[in-house]
Structure 1
Amino acid sequence: MRHLSSSRLILGCLLGLLLGASPMQAALPQAPGFLAGQHAKNGIACAECHGKGRPVKVDDNETTVNEGCVRCHGSLKEVGAKAQGHINPHVSHLGDIACTACHGGHRGSWAYCGNCHGFELKIPFPATVMKPAEAAPKPPQPASVRRRERTDVVVIGSGAAGMVAALTAHDAGAKVVVLEKQPITGGNSMLAAGGMNAAATRFQAKKGIKDSVELMVKDTMTGGKNLNELELVKILAEQSAASVEYLTELGADLSDVGRMGGASVDRTHRPQGGKAVGAHIVDVLRANAVKRKLDVRVNSRVVRLLENRQGRITGVLVQGRHRGFYRIDAKAVVLAAGGFSANPERVAHYQPTFQGMTSSNQPGATGDGLDLGAAAGGVLKDMEQIQIHPSIAAGSRILITEAVRGNGAILVNREGKRFVNEITTRDAASKATLAQPGQSAFMVFDEGVRQSLKQIDGYFHLELVKEGATPEALAAAIQVPPQALKETLDRYNQAVAAKADAEFKRPDLPRALTTPKFYAIEVKPGVHYTMGGLKISTRTEVMAKDGKPIPGFFAAGEVTGGVHGANRLGGNSISETITFGRIAGAQAAAAAHAPVKP
C-alpha cells in the first residue's frame, strides 16, 4: 500500500466521504480501483475536479465536479460523438444528464441505464453491486436540524408534473425549489412513449378529426370502469387542449396525432414522425427550467414534511447526498413524486397475483412520496388499482409503446393466431395475453408500420426485433407455424380492406400489413402504473381524513389517485401530469402569496 502523508490522508478522507465512499476508500484517494485514483495516476490533482476552495465542498448536484468532467472530456454530446460500440449510452433518451449519474470518483461507477436495460455496458471501475438511491435503507430522521433555508414553494419530484408545477409557480412570481432523490431529473415521464391525450385541439382540427371533451370524459370513465372521480376526469378533458397549447408555447412539438387503446378517435398527440413523447417533453421542461434559472436539486431526498400546530404544511426535511440533513421552510409544498411500480414488495402487497412481474418503471418509482403524504395526514385511495401493461419486451424492462399497435401492429400467440382486439384497454389486453401459451405474445408489423412511427427504430437498435422477408420467414424466426401466421395476416388484411374486423371488433384499422419486411417483438405483461394515491380536490389540495384539505399541501401526477379509476388509458398520464401540474403550481403560488392566518 502506498504511504500517504497525514495532510493528504485527511484531504482524501474528506473528498471521499463527500463523494459517498467508504472510510477505507476515502482514505485512499489514489487507489487505482476508482476514477480518482486513475486521475491521480495521470497527474491530475484533486482541485481539477473539486475546485481550489478550502475546505472542499461538493453540492448535491455535484456541479463543480461535473464542470471538471466537461472541461476535460467535453460535453455529453461530444463524448457521444466519439464513443464506439453498438449501444452508445452517451446518446440516449435520458438527455443531457450529469456525468456523476454514472461515473464515481471515490466509489464504483455504475451505468444508470442498467436500471431498465438488460444489455451490458462497459464502464470504468464498475461497482461490484449496483445500489441506486431507493435501494438504500430509509435514512434516519434527526430530532433537530440547524441548517435552514426559506423559499415560497417546494416541489418534490422532477417528472413532468413536478417540473410543470415548478415552472407555473415560478411564472406566477413564487420562489421555487425542486427536490429530486435520483441523480437525474425526469422521473417516469422521461420513459413515456405513446403520446398525450387531448380533445378538440387545433392539431386534431387540422387533420379533420372530430373529437369533444364529452367523448374524452366518456372514454376515460369507461376505461377506468367508472371508478374514476368524475370531477377530476372532467378537468383532465376540459383543460387537455390548453395543456397541449401550454407545452407548444414552451417549445414542444405535439402536432402528430394517433390513437391509443380505449380511445374512440385519434387524440394522442406526439412529435412529428411518432417520436417518443416523454423524453421530448422532459427535454423541453428542462430547457425552460434552465432558462428561468430554477433551483433544481438532484440527489436530494425529502424524508419528512414539516407542519405547524395548526396542521399546515410548512416545509420539508431533506437529506442531501453530500450536504446531509437540512430543512427548507416553505409557504406551500407540491408533491409530485410518482407511484410505486418499481417497488415489487408494495405491488405484491396490494396485488399478490402480480408478484414476480417485471416493471417498466424507472428505479425511483418506489412510493416513498405516498409515505410522505400519508404521514402528513393525507388519505390514500384505490391503492390496489395497479395497471399491468401488455407489451413489455420479453426478457427486459423495455416498454413497447402502445402506439405500435395503434399504428397497425397485431398480436399473435405461439400458434400464429390473433387472440384480442389490439387497441382494447390495457387490462383487457394483458389478461388476454396471460391466457396464451407461455403467457406472452408476438407484436407483428410490417415496414409500413415501422416507417409510420420513428420510435420503432429504437427497438431495432436494442436488438428486440425479429424479422423475415415474408410472413413465412418471420414465422420461422419466431418459431410459430408459418401457414398459420400467413393466414392470420391474410384475414387481417381482408378486414382492413373491408373496414370491419369481424373476429375481434377492432375499431381502428389504419393499414394493411403487406409491405416487406415483416417484423415481430415478443411481449409480456408487466407492472406499469399505479392508479391509486393521495386523494386530491379539484384544486389539487391533498385531502385529510376529515374531508378537509391540508393547508399548504398540493399534489399532482401519479402520486395522486382518482383520475384513472381502475385502469388508465394510454396517453392520459402525460395529459394528467401537465394539466394537474399546472393547477398545483398555480395554487401553490397563490398560497405562497396569501397572507398567513394567525
Structure 2
Amino acid sequence: SHPGLWNCRLTGPYPPEACATAFRIMATVFPVDQAIVVGGGLAGMSAANTVLENGGRGILLDKSSFCGGNSTKATSGINGAATKTQKTKGIEDSVDLFTSDTLKGGAKKPDVVKVLCGNSGADVDWLMDKFNLDLSLVARLGGHSAPRTHRGKERFPGMTITYALIQMVEKISERTDRAKIITKARATQLLTNAEGACVGLAYEKGGMVFQEHGPVILATGGFGADFTQQSLLAQYRPDLMHLPTTNGEHCTGDGIKMGEAIGAKSV
C-alpha cells in the first residue's frame, strides 16, 4: 500500500522471474541488495526464505527473545487447494472452491481472499519440497467443502512447519553473510526518503537504536494482545476489549502502526 513497503508473503512462492525482477528494481532504488523482514513467525520466515532462495540478502528482526510467533501454536495444519497430497489421495479440490468457502465465512474482501487462496496449493507443495516436511495427512475441517487442511504425524504441525523454516535461515546465516536473525530487536520507525518511499527502518536493541536500509517486509502479526487505550484494538474493535486472547503478548500491532505512520493503508 506504500512505495517501498512490501507486504509479507503469506502465500507464495512467487514465480522466479517475478522475484528476479523485484530484486533488479531493488538494486536500482536501494543502496544495498538486502530486504529487511520484521517478524519471525511463519509469514516472516516464509518471506526471509523467499528472499534468500531468489538470490537476495535478508535481515530478520524479532522483538522477542526467540522466533516462532503465534504460528507455533497452530495445531490443525495448513490449508491448501489442489496440492500434490490431495491429488495423490484422489481428493477433488480447487482454488475456486477454497475461495468460495472463505468468502462465505469471512469479511468478504475478495482481493485478500485471492491472495490467501490463489497460491495456497503451491505453498503447501513448497513447504514439502523445499523443507522436506511431512504434510501427508489431509482433513476436512469446519467451513471447508473438501479435505484441505494438511499436516504430518507430529502433534503440533504449526511448530514443526515454522521451526523448519527458522532452521533453514539459521543454517544459511551460519554458512554465509547473506542472512542474519536479530532477536530482542524492536522495530520502531520506518524510514522514508524525500519522495516518501520507505527505504529502511530503525530498531531498538539493548537500549541502543540501530538502522537498516532496504525494502521492508512487515510480518509482525495482529494486535489482539494489546489492551491499552492507545491500541488498535481500542481504535477498531473496542467491543472486544473485555475478552481474553490466545495471542502471544508480542501481538501489539507494531507493523500496522509503523505503516500507518508513513501513510500506508491497512486492510
TM range (shorter): 0.7 to 0.9
Contact 1:258–1:266 under 8 Å retained in 2: yes
Indicate the SS of the match to 2:191.
strand
Please give the per-residue CA displacement for 1:110-146, whole angstroms capped at 9, x wherever unaligned.
Answer: xxxxxxxxxxxxxxxxxxxxxxxxxxxxxxxxxxxxx
Count of aligned pairs between the two proteins: 228
Query: In the aligned structure 1, how far is the partner of 2:111 from the partner of 2:257?
Result: 25
**Counterparts of 1:57-136 in structure 2 under 5 Å?**
none
Contact 1:256–1:272 under 8 Å retained in 2: yes
Query: In the aligned structure 2, how far is the partner of 1:225 from the partner of 1:213?
Result: 18
Amino acid at match of 2:265: V
Please give the per-residue CA displacement for 1:432-484, whole angstroms capped at 9, x wherever unaligned.
Answer: xxxxxxxxxxxxxxxxxxxxxxxxxxxxxxxxxxxxxxxxxxxxxxxxxxxxx
Q: In structure 2, what is the equivalent of residue 342 of structure 1?
A: 225
Q: In structure 1, what is the equivalent of residue 169 of structure 2?
A: 289
Q: In structure 2, what is the equivalent of residue 378 of structure 1?
A: 264
Q: Which has the higher contact order (CA 8 A, sep 6+)?
A: 2
Amino acid at match of 1:367: G
Q: In structure 2, what is the equivalent of residue 312 of structure 1?
A: 197
Indicate the SS of the match to 1:292.
helix
Judging changes above 3 Å, is the alpha-carbon distance between structure 1 residues 156 and 213 closer, same or farther for their aligned structure 2 residues? same
Q: In structure 2, what is the equivalent of residue 366 of structure 1?
A: 252
Structure 1 residue 183: Cα displacement: 0.8
Amino acid at match of 2:90: G
Contact 1:151–1:177 under 8 Å retained in 2: no
Contact 1:306–1:317 under 8 Å retained in 2: yes
Match of 1:276 among 156, 159, 177: 156
Contact 1:198–1:244 under 8 Å retained in 2: yes
The answer to whether residue 112 in structure 2 is matched with residue 252 in structure 1 is no
Query: In the aligned structure 2, how far is the partner of 1:328 from the partner of 1:150?
Result: 10
Amino acid at match of 2:244: T
Q: In structure 2, what is the equivalent of residue 136 of structure 1?
A: none
Structure number with greater Rg is 1
Please give the per-residue CA displacement for 1:509-538, whole angstroms capped at 9, x wherever unaligned.
Answer: xxxxxxxxxxxxxxxxxxxxxxxxxxxxxx
Please give the per-residue CA displacement for 1:137-192, whole angstroms capped at 9, x wherever unaligned.
Answer: xxxxxxxxxxxx96621111111111111111112111111011111101111112
Contact 1:151–1:328 under 8 Å retained in 2: no
Question: Which stretches in structure 2 are left out of the alignment for 5+ residues?
Answer: 1-30, 174-178
Q: In structure 2, what is the equivalent of residue 82 of structure 1?
A: none
Contact 2:80–2:121 under 8 Å retained in 1: yes
TM-score normalised to structure 2 length: 0.80
Q: In structure 1, what is the equivalent of residue 35 of structure 2?
A: 153
Structure 1 residue 291: Cα displacement: 2.0
Query: In the aligned structure 1, how far is the partner of 2:87 from the partner of 2:236?
Result: 42
Contact 2:40–2:62 under 8 Å retained in 1: yes
The answer to whether residue 237 in structure 2 is matched with residue 351 in structure 1 is yes
Amino acid at match of 1:351: R
The answer to whether residue 241 in structure 2 is matched with residue 327 in structure 1 is no
**Counterparts of 1:40-59 in structure 2 under 5 Å?**
none
Percent identity, aligned pairs only, is 36
Indicate the SS of the match to 2:223.
coil
Structure 1 residue 278: Cα displacement: 1.1
Amino acid at match of 1:245: D
Q: In structure 1, what is the equivalent of residue 19 of structure 2?
A: none
Match of 1:192 among 70, 74, 97: 74
Structure 1 residue 348: Cα displacement: 4.1
TM-score normalised to structure 1 length: 0.37
Query: In the aligned structure 1, how far is the partner of 2:72 from the partner of 2:172?
Result: 21
Structure 1 residue 319: Cα displacement: 0.8
Judging changes above 3 Å, is the alpha-carbon distance between structure 1 residues 260 and 348 closer, same or farther for their aligned structure 2 residues? farther
Runs of 4+ deviating beyond 3 Å? none
Structure 1 residue 215: Cα displacement: 0.5
Root mean square deviation of aligned Cα: 1.8
Q: In structure 2, what is the equivalent of residue 392 of structure 1?
A: none
Indicate the SS of the match to 2:153.
coil
Query: In the aligned structure 1, how far is the partner of 2:218 from the partner of 2:53?
Result: 18
Query: In the aligned structure 1, how far is the partner of 2:63 from the partner of 2:79?
Result: 29
Contact 1:155–1:335 under 8 Å retained in 2: yes
Query: In the aligned structure 1, how far is the partner of 2:190 from the partner of 2:57?
Result: 18
The answer to whether residue 114 in structure 2 is matched with residue 241 in structure 1 is no
Contact 1:179–1:301 under 8 Å retained in 2: yes
Query: In the aligned structure 1, how far is the partner of 2:97 from the partner of 2:57?
Result: 39
Contact 1:181–1:302 under 8 Å retained in 2: yes
Contact 2:170–2:181 under 8 Å retained in 1: no
Match of 2:104 among 219, 222, 225: 222
Query: In the aligned structure 2, how far is the partner of 1:210 from the partner of 1:175?
Result: 39
Indicate the SS of the match to 1:374.
helix
Q: In structure 1, what is the equivalent of residue 142 of structure 2?
A: 261
Question: Which stretches in structure 1 are left out of the alignment for 5+ residues?
Answer: 1-148, 382-598
